[in-house]
Each structure stands twice: as structure tokens, then as C-alpha cells.
Chains A and B, each alone.
Chain A
Amino acid sequence: MAATRKSPHADAAAVIAQMGGSKSQARIVWEQFRRHKIALFGLFVLAAMYLIAAFAGFIAPYGINEYRRTPVSAFMPPTNVHWIDPETGRLTRPFVYEYVSERDPVTRQRVFVENRDGPRYPIAFFVHRPDHPYEILGMFRSDLRLFGVEDPARIFLWGTNNLGKDVFSRVLYGGQISLTIGVLAVWVSLSLGMIFGVIAGFYGGLVDDFIMRLVEVLDAIPGLFLLIVLATLLKDPRNPLAQAFGLSMTSGQTFLMIVIVLGFVGWGGLARTIRSLVLSLREMDYASAAKALGASEMRVMFRHLLPGTASYVMVVLTLAIPGFILAETGLSFLGLGPSEVDSASWGLLLRDATARGISIQFVPWLLIPGIPIFLAVLCWNLVGDGLRDAFDPRKRR
């Protein structure tokens, strides 16, 4: 096959070669990265998002699935927070009113009206809610919430969904799933891609042929089919994997399964990339030198060749993460994502919006979960671009 294209891998190999493992490499890269203002912005936004997601329990006023059956708070618009005392007209401690609702005869929607004659409920900070404890990073257990109002009033900063669950709280909790799903799925992809890519690139010959054929086979199967069927399969508590590990498919385990599915569908491209990197690296002097010095094949592969691919792989990973975040929203759109009953992800929250069709016009606040998805995907891309430029010596300024 003579038709060759200018391969991005050749670039990458050149980059790697030039970096040559100098000690100050990390610093140089960081300095380059810092000049890339937009990428830096992306990094800060991401850091903030991950931090908020980690402390979701503390910041969110309500639990992940908290709602009440009576009085109904379904489809409540964002709660109006008052800063000014209506009697004195002066700035006061922020407070909210209780809401009463009735159905609009035309739109047939529940219309919520503030009960301004009723008592005011000041927003309290650092409130304890003993009935609704939470965990942070699976380590600290607490029931202290950043803010809240006293019952029966409620504070819904971004409104509620049809059961009356707080969208604001759910977006924060949803970040825990959606932001980690991308990172974890990338690791699954990476592990598979690394193992197969390095083996293929290093041994070449039949092994290489076989692995590359396998990648092609996976490529030829429509991704949508793989996603749907695997997601279906792995959510079954009787699936072989679950039985092997004695899982009962709780929401957490289902979530991991989805990660595996996403990662499994995406590893082929990575393996191909890494293989070609290894192919070019193998011919380089230091690999031959190591071999000549009597290092074992394994050692050459994992101590010398693999680290050589690190910077390029890092860029690829950063750019792959947003793809997985989007893939999760697609799965959720098809009803194959995390389950409504015991978890929340941004894709799931977005489904609340897409399932409404054009009647979303009555409940526009359900579109809010689109914003963090947009931001996360955008920022990961910006950071990936920044990293690529920073790693590339030709782009140094």
C-alpha cells in the first residue's frame, strides 16, 4: 500500500525525540502551558468543577434523590431569593417564601406563587440536616450543609424536575458521575490500548497482525450497537462479570460497568496510535542501546518504550475525556445510562429536558444541566490543545 498520509504520529515521535527526557521537562511544559491563556482558563474552570463535585454533599442543600410527595414541589421554577425587606425597603438577610401552586387552565402546568402573606424563611448557612447525611470522597461523613431553609419552605436555586427533585443539588451530584466517567473510561481505554499497542508495536509480525486485525474488527462493528448491547448486558445482575465478582449491580457498580463499556468501545484507536509510536521509537538509539546492554524485552518495553509515549498519550487522553462525557449523555438519552431511581448524571438530567420535547418552554430551567456538560467538554478540549502546544517544541514561543 503506497498511499501514505502525513501521519500525526510522526510528529509526535519527533516531539518525543526532541524532549529526550530532560529533567526540567515538566517545568518547560508548564511554562509553555501558562502562556496559553485560554487553556489556563480551561484548567481553572475544570479544577473548580471537580472541586465542587467532590464537595457536592456540602454545597447542595438537598440529597441526590430527595423530594417530597406532599406538598407537591414538581416543576417548581427557581426559588425567588429576596434580599430586600418589603416593609423597610432595606437590604436584609436573604430569605424566601413558601410557595402555593395551582394548575394553569391553558398551559396545564402547575403554577407556583409565593405566599407573601406567609412567614419569611431566612436562608441559613451551615445547617445540620441529620436525616440527610452525605459522604465526601467516600471518606468523610457529615450532615452539615452550606445553606438551607427551614421546613416547610424549600430553596431550589435552579428549580425542580417532575418529581420535585432539586436541579441545583442534582447537577452538583451529577458532576461526581459525569466528571469521573470520562476520566475512568479513558483509563480503561488506555490500559487496553497500552497493552495491545505496545505488544503489537514491539513484537511485530504475527502478533502485530492479529492485534491490528482485532482492532479493525472492533472498528467495523457499529459503535452504537456495541454500546447498546454491552450496556444492556452489563446492567444485568446475572452477567458473567457480575457473577465472577459477586456483584449485585447496585448503582455504583452499574456506573462502573458503563465506564467499562465506554472504555471498551474506545480502546482501538488508542492501541493503533501507541503501536505506531512504539514502532518508531523501537528504531531509536536508546532502545537498541538498552537491548544491546542485555535488558530483557519486557524491560525494554515497559521501562524504555512506554515512557517515551507518555507526553503524546497524555494529550490524546485529555482530548478523549470529553468524548466519553458526551457518550454518557448519548447513552442516557437512549435510556441506557445510570438509573433514574438512585443516581444522577448530567446525561440523565439532560434527559429530563429532552424527554419534554418542546414543552420544555414551560420548564426552561431543566436545560441548565446542559451548561456544565458544555463547560466540561469545552474545557477539557482547551486543556488538551494547550498541552499539545506546550509539548510541541516547534510551537514554543
Chain B
Amino acid sequence: MRKLILSLAFVAVATFAMANPFVYPASWTTTPLGEAQMGGTIVQATLSDPRTFQPVLQSETNEVTDMMQWATLLTQGPDSDEWIPYAAESFTVNEAGTVFDVVLREDLRWSNGDPITVQDYFASYLLQTDPETGSNKYDGWFLNDVQITLEITGERSLRFTFPGPDRTAFGTVALFPVPDKVLGEAYRTGGAEAVNALWGTETPVEELIFDGPFMLTGFQPGERLVWAKNPYFGEWNVDEAGNPLPYLDGRIHRIASQDAQLNLFLAGEIDLFAPRNLDDIGVINVAIQNGDVDAVVLEGYGGAGSSSFIVFNWNQASNPGKEALFRNVNFRKAMYHLVDREAIIELVFSGAAEPMYSGVYLPNSFWLDDATPRYEYDPEAALEFLARAGYSQRDGDGFLVNAAGERISFTLATNAGNQSREQMVQIFADSAREIGVEVEPTSLDFSLLVDQLLSTGDDRAFDAILIGLTGGSRTWPFGDSVYNCNGFLHMYNTSGSCLSPAETLMEQLNKEGKQTLDTDAAREIGLQIQEIEAGMAPILYLVSPQLHAAWSAKIGGELPDEYKGAFTGTRMIALTHVR
């Protein structure tokens, strides 16, 4: 309900002002209204060079394209999962949830002063839906293989038409513009090829056009990105006191590995750092205590937006014994009870992780429920399930055997060089050995592992793999490729068709849930999926590391604690200021 009141607040503010900017609610920052200092520069860090400056073909998020994909029509605030109008002044949806009419704000501006128009949004749509540009947004424009369309319906209005109702439609409507005069023009004259040739990382920064709060003014590959405030951003983004945003005059990104970032933070060269674990936090704490850095540390503000799990291979035509074993639900439940999450959290993550019992990431707490069945570490229960699977006797070496005298023996692989995954494999193998199940831990190169996991057909080369997933939606946290039986991330069974009624049911529910626009009803369906999944235990979910943050004490304007999280981060960059 609070969400609704908030959106009403926007409307109220909007009617008072002549111009109609987006007003950042004061509740999105801990700094009291009017106390934020204007000006100043902060130094952040990022792991690697941006690989392109081109917002459309970008295949991974980078800091530069982030500032070019800013003026999305809709957005999700840090305080809720609801979509609110951002670059749009307002939007309406028809009864069936298939037609979205959007009206643009008046004062939208690019960093070069040009107005952002419907043409710019349409150019964005054109480029994204042309397969030749290689945009990673391309897939989002199809619903059950039918394309979603966009048309210009007026000077400031756009219409999205969906082939059917879809929960994730908002994500599509949250379209960002691209400068029609540059990218759109190139597309009209030279097609996708001309667009792709534009704005590589060698492009002089003056030629780039931004719609975000900062614009790039310098790029030293391997070293840093330098930003200045976008002077036109403040015309359509203000705080509740009416001050133009952003508060900062500039920002810098140092490009460095995480180890190097920690060193830089301790040396006082960067202002914001995300500690990976308690070791990092300890080092920073000590430096603060010694007076070497003046910083604030926030330990464990939520779970990460990623999962880790063990998956068994159901497609082993050449090894029918193992195939039958892995398809046996009692066996899988037994294995689920062997996951010693407490030990994993304590030993592998030195205490800074949280248990996972479902594929929904922890920060998606809205979609999680305590009532979903959980498999805690319980060797007794595991033995019981194994007995039901036919393994109740022991051989001379103490291993469990079935009537035919066969042991349970399989290899569990993970990617080499990932120490925490290797150690999780080891802990699982050790817990299994303790009750008489033989697990051979191995580690493979990442590309090999993925290759094995994603191979299709009735005969795949692995037994079990420990790996993780990341990415996905906040609006419907279940991926098609994961829950559809022919999806390529349907990792336990890639034969192309459902092998059990539960799989079929989950596929149906996923489709149904995606089309359910009412959030609470969708949640019910989501919980149903999780319950069915827990009942068949095809994937053993393990743990999710906690997120930590540290920032120099001179930086202000972070989110209130209750809004900090994996998806929202710890601060809105536009509201960040120096003290």
C-alpha cells in the first residue's frame, strides 16, 4: 500500500511545478533534505575495462553504457519491486495487460543539450530488434516467439503491444533511448554494420552522448574512467527540495582487480569498495582503528543475487545404472540431506553466507516463503532415503550397497581454480563418505564444465556438477531456459522433453505465472513451483554469500538500511554527495 502512496506523492509534486521533472524521494537517501553538499568528486572502482561504448550491442553491463541506458521509461525504485514512471510522465495499461501507452516527460535532455524524443526511443527499439546488431536485449522483444511491437502514437507518446499478457512486460517497457541523430541515422544509412562500427572504446569521449547523471570525459584503458556531471540531467531529475541532480561534480572509476581494489581502498585512493568476505572487512577495520583510513564498514547487508547448487545428470544412456540412480527421487533427497550448509558457511565463507533452499535468489525475498520444504543437513534422514532407494547394507569397507552389492559412487565436478566451489565439493564429498557414499571430487576448467553441463541429448559425460547461476528478473524470478523442459539451462535433463510429471507441471506453472499480472497471485504460483521443485529435488541448492560494503567517511547519501540489497546496491549515484 505504501508503494501506492509513494506514486501518488509523485503526482502531487508534479502538479505544483511548471516543468515536470522526476523527483527523487527523500526516503531514498539517509541525508536529510537540503543538507547534501553540492560538488565534489568520488573515486570508485571497477573490475575491467568497458569493452564497448555502444549502448545497444553491449553484451555485458559496463559503467559507460550504464550511463547511456539511463533514461528508461519506467524504473524500479530501491524501495519496491513496483515499476514507476521515470522518463515517462505516466503510463496506462489496458485491461488485458497487452497494450502499454506511455507519455514522455517534457524536459528530457541528452548530455549535448538535445531533447530526448520519441524518435530516440523508437531508434532504440529498431536497433534492439534487429538481430544483426547483436543486442543482448533482442531476446526480450519476443514473447513465445512472437515479437512485441512499438509504435509512435504522438509527439510524446508511445505504444507497446504485446502478443499476450506478460509479467516481464514492464521490463520491456522500461526501454532506454539511443540518440537517433547518431545511432539511428547510422542505422538508416548503413544498417546494423554501421551502428556496430560506431562508439568503440577508441571513440573520442567528446563524441559520446549520455542520458545518465554523468558523462565520460576521459578513458585510460586498464586504469580509469573519468566522469563529469551531465549538466542537462538536472533539468529532469531533482531532489524533493528542487535541487538539480546529481550533487557530485564528477566521479572516477579506477580499473583494478578485487585484490588491488582493497589495496587501493586502504591506501585511500578509492572511496567505495565492496569487501568480498570477512577477511577484507577485518583488514579495513584494522586500518580504521589505526587511523589509516577514515571509512564506514557495512557487514552483511543482504544475500547476493546469485545461486550455487549441485545438479545430477539424468541423461546417461551409456550407464543405465547411474541414470536410474540419479532419476530416483529418494536418492536425490538423500543427497540433499547431506549438504552441510553450516560447515560450508563457516569454513568456506568464514561465516558470511546464508543458506539457500530454492533457486530464487535471497534478495528476491518477496518470492520466498518459509513454508517451502527444506532439506537440512541430516545424515540419519539421508540414510533413510537411501534405504528407500535400496541401499541399506554395507560392504567390507563400510560403503552402502544395494541388493546387487553395488556402491553409490559418482564424481562431483566444479570449475578448477574457484577455491570456494572446490571446497564446497570437498565438504559434500566428505559428508557423503561419512555415511558410506563414494563421491569423487574433481575440478575442470570452466569452459569444459559448462560445455558438459549444456551438452544435450540422452548421453552426457558427467555425473554431477557444482556450479552457480546469476542474472534474472525481479518481476518473475524463474527463467524460461531453466524451467522449460527444452530450455538449455534445464540442467539435470537436457534430453529435450520432460521426463517426469513434476517437470511438466513446473513448465506449465512457469508459463502461467509469467502471464499473471497480479503480483500476489504470481507469487502464489512461484511458491508452487518452488514447492514442486523441492519435492523432486532435482537441484541441491547450497548457499549464497552475503554482501558487504565499505565507503570513505566523506561520502554521504547512501540508501536507508532497509533498502540496501543486491539489486539496489547501497546508494543511488545521483543522490550521492561528499561531506
Indicate yes or no for A touching B, C-beta below 8 A.
Answer: yes
* Interface pair B343/A69, CB less than 8 Å apart: yes
Among B279, B441, B447, contact of A108 (Cβ-Cβ < 8 Å): B279
Q: Which of B308-316, B411-419, B476-484 lines the interface with chain A?
A: B411-419
| Contact call A110/B350, Cβ cutoff below 8 A | yes
Spot the interface stretch: B82-90, B194-202, B258-266.
B258-266
Which B residues are CB-close (under 8 A) to A358? 259, 262-263, 266, 283
A115 proximal to B (CB < 8 A): no
Is residue B443 within 8 Å, beta carbon to beta carbon, of the partner chain?
Answer: yes
Within 8 Å CB of A206, what residues of B? Answer: none
Known: A69-B343, A110-B350, A358-B266. A341 touches B461 (CB 8 A): no
Tell me whether B347 and A72 are in contact (CB under 8 A): yes
Instruction: List the count of A-B residue pairs having beta carbons below 8 Å apart.
Output: 112
* Contact in complex: B282, A235 (CB < 8 Å): no
Q: B416 near A107 (CB under 8 angstroms)?
A: no
> Is the beta-carbon distance between A109 and B282 smaller than 8 angstroms?
yes
Question: Which of B422, B440, B442, B448 has the most CB atoms of chain A within a 10 A radius of its CB?
Answer: B442
- Which residues 256-294 of B have a CB within 8 angstroms of A? 259, 262-263, 266, 278-283, 285-286, 289
In angstroms, Cα B262 to Cα A356, docked, is 11
Q: Which chain B positions have C-beta within 8 A of A357?
A: 259, 262-263, 279-280, 283
Decide if B422 touches A341 in the complex (CB within 8 Å): yes
Q: Which residues of B contact A351 (CB under 8 A)?
A: 419
**List of A residues within 8 angstroms of B351 by Cβ:** 103
Select which of B279, B285, B417 is within 8 A of A356 by beta carbon. Answer: B279
Contact A232-B448, Cβ < 8 Å, known A72-B346, A339-B422, A340-B443: yes
A336 at the interface (CB under 8 A from B): yes
B444 pairs with A341, CB closer than 8 A: no
Query: A339: nearest residue on chain B (CB-CB)?
Result: B443
Interchain nearest-CB distance for A59 vs B (Å)? 24
A74 to B348, CA, bound (A): 9
Residue picked from A65, A75, A357, most chain B C-beta under 10 Å:
A357
Chain A residues 98-123 with CB under 8 Å of chain B are 103-104, 106-110
B350 with A74: CB separation less than 8 A: yes
For A, the interface residue count at a CB cutoff of 8 angstroms equals: 39
A335 within 8 Å of B by Cβ? yes
Whether A336 contacts B286 in the complex (CB less than 8 A), given A235-B445, A236-B444, A357-B262, comes out as no
- A245-265 vs B, Cβ < 8 Å mask (1 yes, 0 no): 000011000000000000000
What B residues does A18 contact at CB under 8 A?
none
Contact residues in A for B448 (Cβ distance below 8 Å): 232, 235-236
Evaluate contact between B347 and A162: CB separation under 8 angstroms.
yes
Find chain B residues with CB under 8 A from A362 CB: 279, 282-283
Question: A65 to B426, alpha carbons, bound, how many Å?
Answer: 9
Instruction: Tell whether B427 is near chain A: CB-to-CB under 8 Å.
Output: yes
**CB distance A164 to B347 under 8 Å?**
yes
| Interface hits, B387-425 → A, CB 8 Å | 416-419, 422-423, 425
Residues of B322-371 contacting chain A, CB below 8 A: 340, 343, 346-348, 350-351
A220 at the interface (CB under 8 A from B): no
Q: Are B348 and A162 in contact (CB under 8 A)?
A: yes
Q: Establish whether residues A162 and B426, one from each chain, have CB atoms under 8 Å apart when the complex forms.
A: no
A107 to B351, CA, bound (A): 13
Interchain CB contact under 8 A, A232 and B447: yes
4 closest A-B pairs by CB: A335-B417, A359-B279, A341-B441, A107-B282
